[in-house]
Amino acid sequence: MNILEHMNAEGHEQVAMFSDPASGLKAIIAVHDTTLGPACGGTRMWPYESEAEALTDALRLSQAMTYKSAAAGLHFGGGKGVIIGDPHKVKSEALMRAYGRSVDTLGGRYLTTTDVGTTARDLEFMRQETRHVTGLPVSLGGSGDTSIMTGLGLYMGMKACAEEVWGNGGLRGKTVAVQGFGKVASHLCEHLMEEDTRIVVTDVFEDALDRARDWGLEVTSPNSIMTTDCDIFAPCALGGVLNSQTIPQLKCRVVAGGANNQLLSDDDGEELHRRGILYAPDYIINAGGIINVEAEMGDAGYSPERAREKTERIHEIMGSVIRTSQAEEISTAVAAAHLAEERLDSVRRIRSMRRSCQ
């Protein structure tokens, strides 16, 4: 991969790579765009097969974070950190503190929080080395578990899609197939269970499936979830699951889930639209976590009420994306991108005018 050419093509401002032999840290931080404020995004720890795979993930995820914050009306730019390694095997205090020192070298251009493979405990270790950490436990003055609001946002986005497809937002009696049963999916399912929704879940980890069974949920194999006959398919694991091979297998009317970068390519968003499957762009409906983080940044400190109020607006934002898609006869993926780009362009114009007046 020609890194600089890729950065220029996608508008990335910075990519930083870090190594700490003593702890075993190998990490990449990508800053996509800081037009709206400091880049903010979680740190993902995953056993990537290569550095190129990790870099590609960081670049794609950081761009999605720019769009996520822009569409949600937040004052954050987009960034993402990835740590190469199996969190179940090589994670340690020393590694997380080394990563915290890496974050600190960026001087506040990037604010980190949790993502797949990292926890609030990891943030506490990072906090020993840098102040540029968000989403800390409430006991430490932070906003706590971001997955709670992320799950709520997914639920609100689903309801907006249900209103469009079935004429009302009720999910009672509908079948939702959930791919991945981690923290975000668990909080989503709590809301769905309150509506007496039929839920079918899968996960690659047996302990997650055991928890699903304890909740009384139906469980299926990872290889079967994409072909489950359902009303809503909810990808809540890793990205790229919607592609030319998997989309023809779908048996649903709506795709709405928490995984980042669900579309392997832009063409996949167009294919869902062509097939009449309503796609809820991931960065629109999974923004509850970053909204929760922003709610701790004000002078008054974290307000769960403010976080919940802004997260519930995802219903309205998703509705706006659907209306734009219909009015302009474009896919919801393109409509969502237009929404984010319009805000970015408007702030760039404001900044340009200010500079010209100085």
The residues annotated as belonging to the active site are 80
What's CA 339's distance to the chain center, in Å? 17
**Going edge to edge, which strands form the sheet with 77-84?**
14-20, 25-33, 77-84, 39-46, 110-114
Distance (Å, whole) CA 200 – CA 220? 7
Residue 272 · residue 279 · CB < 8 Å: yes
Cβ-count burial of 224 within 10 angstroms (0-12 exposed, 13-18 middle, 19+ buried)?
Answer: exposed
State how far the alpha carbon of 181 is from the alpha carbons of 160, 208, 209, in Å. 22, 6, 7
Residue 44 · residue 61 · CB < 8 Å: yes
3-class DSSP assignment, residue 15: strand
Residue 221 · residue 202 · CB < 8 Å: yes
- Which of 184, 222, 172 minimizes the C-alpha distance to 200? 222
